[in-house]
């Protein structure tokens, strides 16, 4: 295991290394153009997963009628997909640390395309369930492995910005998915939603084959295993990491805010259908607001996170992952205000539709800001096991998203829109105030105990 000092030494900027001493196999010493090409490809792979998680949400009422089930049952197909995309990366990530990142992307994305196609041909709910689960298992690989790839290729000085952009796929996928799915369902039918997923998966698979490079660096005297030995790995590495205090404290607030976002996403078609009488195509457009909020949040959080980290490193003469956590607090009041506004705008039923839509953009700005900073902290604190650690965080997020999307209809009917999102705001702020100060005070001590 590498210490933080080893990491700093290993990530000297490329321009400071004489050309003759460059190790061209080491991703951190690649040219910027090569780094960002690989980053863009990995982003596309990860985007597919979260795009697929929500792309058919505007068609939920259509599927409810076609399969002749109630809304809670059809909502459970969203929940099951989410939990699968939380569990499966905990297998994919340690596997990628044995066979390499590239082969993990190649196999998983090709399988995603096949399973998406078959889901589109589903003739009953059990068939739909089974192939949605397989689709989720396949596409989830990039969710866990992608964070590891970011840590593979970017040095700490710019890792916060890169992680922020990568995490756009986590939230912008659920934002763009319903936008596309709403109009596809309205004009082509629900099956074409999954045919389009298959087409996208096939296109990304071709890009992977042609342009994707291996980013898992191993020193010449420590090569990757060969033959069957490559498949000998501990599938419970991520679960073991999840049992560490640092990861639990960094994951719990992310789980709360991500879960409540999925509760919002699952309830949105019903709420805007009831209050504003919107059809599926129009409902899909509403998710543009969350996409814009996420984009702005990810870019700004990455810049501020790196700025705070570098300033504290300079002033204190040492580098610690915990320095990044100071920036996380900026997103908290923003998300809090957005949740309160969104809930009570809907509760009043007198505000124009644009009011809760703007509030949704404010929510996503705040949550993306916080999640980006927290994920960068995890990637740095657990390097070189970043992929496995981020898979554990993803599992936590998806577990909460599954639970909250499953109970979304019940919670809304019981509490109403106003108190539903007020409850979410209280839980989010409480989790931040409970977890982050402990990490900032004791994080270094906990990490040294883990590495001892």
pLDDT (tens digit, 9 = 90+) per residue, 110-147?
A: 999 999 999 999 999 999 989 999 999 998 888 878 87
pLDDT at 227: 61
Q: How confident is the model at residue 10 (pLDDT cuts 50, 70, 90)?
A: very low
Average pLDDT of every residue of the chain: 83
Contacts of residue 156, Cβ cutoff 8 Å, sequence gap at least 6:
7, 8, 11, 309, 319, 380
- Mean pLDDT lowest among 6-10, 63-67, 333-337, 377-381: 6-10
The more confidently predicted of residues 238 and 303 is 303
Q: How confident is the model at residue 235 (pLDDT cuts 50, 70, 90)?
A: low
pLDDT at 394: 79
pLDDT at 12: 40
For 56-71, the pLDDT digits (tens) are 878 888 888 888 888 7
The more confidently predicted of residues 78 and 206 is 206
pLDDT at 165: 77
Q: How confident is the model at residue 8 (pLDDT cuts 50, 70, 90)?
A: very low
- 414, 419, 425, 429 alpha-carbon torsion, rounded to 10°: -90
For 322-373, the pLDDT digits (tens) are 888 888 888 889 999 999 999 999 999 889 999 999 999 999 899 888 888 8
H or E element that contains 183: helix 168-187
pLDDT at 298: 80
**DSSP string over 356-423:** HHHHHHHHHHHHHHHHHHHHHHHHHHTTTSHHHHHHHHHHHHHHHHHHHHHSHHHHHHHHHHHHHHHH
pLDDT at 345: 93
Q: Say whether pTM exceeds 0.85.
A: no
User: Are 377 and 321 a contacting pair, CB within 8 Å?
Assistant: yes
Question: How far is C-alpha 27 from the geometric centre of its chain's CA atoms?
Answer: 23
In the chain, % of residues over pLDDT 90: 25
For the chain, what is the radius of gyration of the CA atoms?
Answer: 21
* DSSP letter (8 states) at residue 362: H
pLDDT at 14: 42
Q: Pick the closest to residue 79 from 416, 423, 408 (CA basis).
A: 408
In the chain, % of residues over pLDDT 70: 88
The C-alpha atoms of residue 246 and residue 228 are separated, in whole angstroms, by: 34
User: Are 216 and 152 a contacting pair, CB within 8 Å?
Assistant: yes
> How many CB atoms are located within 10 Å of the residue 419 CB?
15
The C-alpha atoms of residue 73 and residue 126 are separated, in whole angstroms, by: 12
- The encoded tokens of residue 37 equal 């090409």
In order of 4, 15, 142, 308, the CA distances from 118 in angstroms are 46, 49, 21, 48
The C-alpha atoms of residue 186 and residue 189 are separated, in whole angstroms, by: 6
pLDDT at 422: 93
- The encoded tokens of residue 130 equal 């089974």
279 φψ region: left (φ > 0), alpha (ψ -120 to 50), beta (else): beta
- 274, 357, 196, 367 alpha-carbon torsion, rounded to 10°: -120
| pLDDT at position 3 over 70 | no
- The encoded tokens of residue 362 equal 């404010």
pLDDT at 21: 52
Q: Pick the closest to residue 421 from 176, 256, 178, 174 (CA basis).
A: 256
Give the 3-state secondary structure percentages of the chain, helix then strand then coil, rounded to 5.
85, 0, 15
The C-alpha atoms of residue 159 and residue 321 are separated, in whole angstroms, by: 11
114 φψ region: left (φ > 0), alpha (ψ -120 to 50), beta (else): alpha
pLDDT at 354: 92
Contacts of residue 15, Cβ cutoff 8 Å, sequence gap at least 6:
none
Q: How confident is the model at residue 452 (pLDDT cuts 50, 70, 90)?
A: low
The more confidently predicted of residues 337 and 451 is 337
Residue the block writes with tokens 């805007």: 272
User: Are 290 and 363 a contacting pair, CB within 8 Å?
Assistant: yes
User: Are 341 and 359 a contacting pair, CB within 8 Å?
Assistant: yes
CATH number of 4-451: 1.20.1250.20
The more confidently predicted of residues 159 and 81 is 81
- Give the residue-averaged pLDDT of 261-279: 85
The C-alpha atoms of residue 113 and residue 86 are separated, in whole angstroms, by: 19
In three-state secondary structure terms, 7 is: helix
pLDDT at 7: 42
* DSSP letter (8 states) at residue 228: G
């Amino acid at each position: 295991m590498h210490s933080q000092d080893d990491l700093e030494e290993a990530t000297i900027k490329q321009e400071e290394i004489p050309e003759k001493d460059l190790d061209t196999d080491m991703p951190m010493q690649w040219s910027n153009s090569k780094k960002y090409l690989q980053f863009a490809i990995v982003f596309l792979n990860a985007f597919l997963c979260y795009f697929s998680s929500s792309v058919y949400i505007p068609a939920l009422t259509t599927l409810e009628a076609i399969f002749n089930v109630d809304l809670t049952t059809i909502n459970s197909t969203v929940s099951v997909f989410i939990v699968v995309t939380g569990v499966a990366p905990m297998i994919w990530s340690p596997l990628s640390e044995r066979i390499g990142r590239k082969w993990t992307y190649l196999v998983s994305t090709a399988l995603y395309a096949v399973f998406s196609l078959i889901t589109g041909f589903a003739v009953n709910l059990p068939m739909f369930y089974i192939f949605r689960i397989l689709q989720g298992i396949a596409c989830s690989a990039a969710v866990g492995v992608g964070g590891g790839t970011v840590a593979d290729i970017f040095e700490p000085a710019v890792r916060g910005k890169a992680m922020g952009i990568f995490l756009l796929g986590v939230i912008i996928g659920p934002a763009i998915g319903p936008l596309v799915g709403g109009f596809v369902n309205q004009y082509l039918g629900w099956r074409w939603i999954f045919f389009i997923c298959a087409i996208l998966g096939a296109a990304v698979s071709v890009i992977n084959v042609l342009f994707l490079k291996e980013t898992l660096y191993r020193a010449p005297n420590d090569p990757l295993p060969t033959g069957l030995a490559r498949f000998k790995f501990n599938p419970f590495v991520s679960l073991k990491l999840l049992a560490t205090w640092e990861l639990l404290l960094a994951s719990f607030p992310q789980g709360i805010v991500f879960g409540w976002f999925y509760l919002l996403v699952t309830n949105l078609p019903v709420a805007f259908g009831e209050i504003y009488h919107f059809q599926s195509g129009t409902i899909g457009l509403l998710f543009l607001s969350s996409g814009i909020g996420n984009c702005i949040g990810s870019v700004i959080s990455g810049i501020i996170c790196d700025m705070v980290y570098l300033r504290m490193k300079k002033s204190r003469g040492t580098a610690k992952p915990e320095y990044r956590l100071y920036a996380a607090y900026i997103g908290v009041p923003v998300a809090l205000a957005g949740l309160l506004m969104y809930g009570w705008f809907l509760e009043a039923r007198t505000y124009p539709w644009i009011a809760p839509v703007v509030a949704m953009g404010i929510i996503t700005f705040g949550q993306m800001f916080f999640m980006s900073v927290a994920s960068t902290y995890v990637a740095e604190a657990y390097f070189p096991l970043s992929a496995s650690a981020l898979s554990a965080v993803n599992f936590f997020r998806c577990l909460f998203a599954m639970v909250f999307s499953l109970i979304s209809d019940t919670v809304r009917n019981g509490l109403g829109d106003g108190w539903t999102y007020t409850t979410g705001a209280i839980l989010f702020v409480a989790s931040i105030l409970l977890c982050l100060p402990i990490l900032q005070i004791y994080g270094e001590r906990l990490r040294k105990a883990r590495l001892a």
